[in-house]
A = this chain, B = another copy of it.
Amino acid sequence: MTMKLVSPGEAAANTNDIPAEAGEEFVRIGEMAKKYGVTLRTLRFYEDKGLLNPHRDGSTRLYTRRDKARLKLILLGRKVGFSLRDVKQMMDLYDPTGTNTKQLRLALDKSEKQLTRLQKQRALIDDAIGELSNSMSIVRQMLVERTAAPQASAAG
């Protein structure tokens, strides 16, 4: 009982039946990975962590629009610095039948905290940049002194 993924007859190049037509109902892991710039391992890892739940054709994973939406959310979450645990916590509250108020509130709450963390990090980095620049100018000065004044002894 193998599901047909696409209409036959248009088999591309040397790969399996998957066309580049995009907008398909199901994609397999390879397509999915390419499309979102992640590795296969990553997709399997996210699934293992309960963040994704692709359908199966036998043992082959089939990703739908829903999975793509979730993956986008995951990637956005990661981009803003959430851990996968956080992302999962938020996504787990999603209820297609409700207003998702709880989910939104949790997301907002976590976001505020994350924003604070990011701002602190920024401050730390600015601090580090300051200290580093400082040290660098000192080192440069030391190098200048060591380079430009060997006239006391024999010039060699």
Q: Name A's B-contacting residues (CB within 8 A).
A: 76, 79-81, 99-101, 104-105, 107-108, 111-112, 114-115, 118-119, 121-122, 125-129, 131-133, 135-136, 139-140, 142-143, 146-147
Contacts and interface: CB of A to CB of B under 8 A. Distances in A.
A104 B144 CA distance: 11
Given A80-B131, A122-B129, 19 more contacts: A76-B135, A79-B127, A79-B128, A101-B143, A101-B146, A104-B139, A108-B140, A108-B143, A111-B132, A111-B135, A111-B136, A111-B139, A114-B132, A115-B129, A118-B128, A118-B129, A119-B129, A122-B122, A122-B125
A155 to B, nearest CB: 15
